[in-house]
A and B are shown apart, each in its own frame.
Chain A
Amino acid sequence: MATYLDFEKPIAELEARVAELRDTAAAGSLNIDAEVDKLEAKAEKLLRDTYGKLTPWQKTQVARHPERPHFKDYIAALINDFVPLAGDRAFADDQAIIGGLGTLSGRKVMVIGHEKGDDTASRIKHNFGMAKPEGYRKAIRLMQLADRFGIPVVTLVDTPGAFPGVQAEERGQAEAIARSTEECLALSVPIVAVIVGEGGSGGAIALAAANRVLMLEHSVYAVISPEGCASILWRTAEKAADAAEAMRVTADHLKELGVIDRIVAEPVGGAHRQREAAIATLGAAIGEELDRYAGMTGAQIRSERRQKFLSIA
């Protein structure tokens, strides 16, 4: 059963009507094809119109959609012979960040990303994509490994933010994020980051200080969640929609600001409606980005990345 967002109610009603007519037609011999076609066309148009002018707050809902493809879906569809690598060698294995070696259309890659989980049990296992210090330290370890063997790094970012907890603080959450960002910037292999859902603050930049930063069309990327921003500046989380608008969290604005390099289009109605198509499009885009670095030296690759962040102003 598909999950509809609040603003998709008219679309849900039309689609339900189409399904109902189909059932009726299947049961009897009524010829209602014309009516179904008409309604389907109407639903399709409504979907296209709605998704063509999503507000920043609506995009935030889409980016958090429970059926939106997650890290594991991308790995399953895009990465051959994936070999997961676990642990930070100091404390634990944090399942909020997963990583490992694999090939993307024949290219060796180290893939690292946040996993949110997609049912209650797996959401708890992956802590809703909110990593702890050991998650960032695992990412650092994998990036260093990739660097030593000349393997490009691909990161998929999808997190509400780093986990705010007593033990996370105790083990140096801030230090782990700072070091992970530092490691991204130190690599002599290319690193391509994609914001595939939510790019939540420091928890995101720790994996996204990359040569190329891509964003799926309906993803969001921000310094603080709209709810968090609203509760501080407006003194109520209910102003989240205003905060999302004011912070410019959407891909088009971030591209204008020069913070991201490329927007990857999603199928009509969002990645969650046509998961396979969305995943395939992203796979092709990542491949193209990685190929830009063929023939560049490690020093050139690192220098390009550093210049990019120095010049964002």
Chain B
Amino acid sequence: MSWLNRVRQSIPFLPKRETPDNLWHKCRECGTMVFTKEYQENLSVCPKCDHHGRIGPRARFEQIFDPGYSTLPQPQVREDPLKFRDSKKYTDRIKAARQSTGEQDALINASGTIEGERAVIGVQDFAFMGGSMGMGVGAAFVTGARAAIEARCPYIIFTAAGGARMQEGILSLMQMPKTTVAIAELKEAGLPYIVVLTDPTTGGVTASYAMLGDVQISEPGALIGFAGQRVIESTIREKLPEGFQRAEYLLDHGMVDMVVHRKDLRERLAKLVAYLTPQKAAA
């Protein structure tokens, strides 16, 4: 009946055999052990301390969209243009990430409705090489924004990334202006661009499309910043303030519009989309 119940019923339960490993979920924040099933039914939020766990694109789509959404095809990009290798080959890292996530790259788009309001949603997957922004992510972002323009609806992005994908060198940096052009196209088409910052969002992703939303939302407790905390500590030798670079800190400093609990996110997005979607031309 309620959307929450529908989400509860539709969450795919991955464990085929219930081993002690995946039967329980241990909260990263408070260490509480919760039944995985109960944890997922609670939208991957710790029932004890409210810590918002990291979730991937599929779970996010299930939580936000009405039934019947469809994922958009992934754009093809050049692979490993630099023939990059550190301790491992980049191609091996991608292969491993694809195997473990079942996704092509770290940003997946889907199109559907939220409480009846049309939207295209892109979700960055931290589990895929730390959500890092390379050519695949940049191209998917452009695809998502253009699909929204095509459908005359908002583009909503859920960010999660350690930053740029270093293995693509300068080409990862070039995704900053590239995604910014896509946002400009969306805005010039008179359509809203909504950002939902999730844990963690740092580096070049924050310094481009994650900070250019018409409305900026964050999940509670999410780490959001430009520079990494260790880098800051070693540069300035200052102790970092309590709650530094957390969602609530950004709210206090005027960098986001609101911090929204995951259970309220769908409703809040639907309302914003309804407010901001251009009126249909009078018949």
Chain A interfacial positions (CB closer than 8 Å to B)? 162-166, 168-175, 177-179, 181-182, 184-186, 201-202, 204-206, 209, 221-224, 228-229, 232-234, 242-243, 246-249, 254, 257, 259, 306, 309-310, 312-313
Closest-by-CB residue of A relative to B225 is A169
B255 neighbours in A (Cβ, 8 Å):
172, 175
CB contacts (< 8 Å) of B238 on chain A: these are 165-166
Q: Which residues of A have CB within 8 Å of B82?
A: 246-248
Contact indicator A233/B170 (Cβ below 8 Å): no
Quote the shortest CB–CB distance from B189 to chain A (angstroms). 14
Q: Which residue of A lies closest to B178 (CB)?
A: A309
Contact A174-B206, Cβ < 8 Å, known A166-B244, A313-B139:
yes
Q: Which of B177, B212, B227 contacts A209 (CB 8 A)?
A: B177
Q: From known contacts A179-B212, A181-B180, A257-B170, infer whether A246 and B85 are also in contact, taking CB-CB under 8 Å.
A: yes
Q: Is the CB of B170 within 8 A of A202?
A: no
- Could you tell me the dominant secondary structure of chain A's interface residues? helix
**B173 with A247: CB separation less than 8 A:** no
Stretch at the interface among B108-116, B228-236, B263-271: B228-236
Inter-chain contacts of A222 with B (CB < 8 A): 169-170, 173
* CB closest chain-A residue, reference B234: A164
**Nearest CB of chain B from residue A293's CB, rounded to whole Å:** 19
| Minimum Cβ distance to chain A for residue B29 (Å) | 22
Pairwise interchain contact B236-A223, C-beta atoms closer than 8 A: no
B150 in the interface (beta carbon within 8 A): no
Number of interface residues of B (CB under 8 A): 55
Would you give the shortest CB distance from A220 to chain B, in whole angstroms? 10
Q: What residues on A are CB-neighbors of B169 within 8 Å?
A: 222-223, 246-249
Question: Residue B172 at the A interface, CB < 8 A?
Answer: yes
CB-contact partner of B81 in A182, A249, A257, under 8 A: A257
Known contacts A165-B238, A234-B87; 18 further A-B pairs (Cβ under 8 A): A164-B235, A165-B227, A165-B236, A166-B241, A169-B245, A172-B253, A172-B255, A175-B211, A178-B209, A202-B208, A209-B176, A223-B168, A223-B204, A228-B231, A247-B82, A247-B170, A259-B171, A313-B139
- CB of B183 within 8 A of chain A? yes
Nearest Cβ on chain B to A211's Cβ, whole angstroms: 12
* A174/B177 in contact, CB under 8 A: no
Pair B184/A186 contact, Cβ less than 8 Å: yes
Min CB–CB distance B252 → chain A (angstroms): 9
A173 to nearest B CB, angstroms?
4
A259 x B174 contact (CB < 8 A): yes
Considering the complex, give the chain B residue whose CB is closest to the CB of A165.
B236
Residues of A with C-beta under 8 A to B21: none
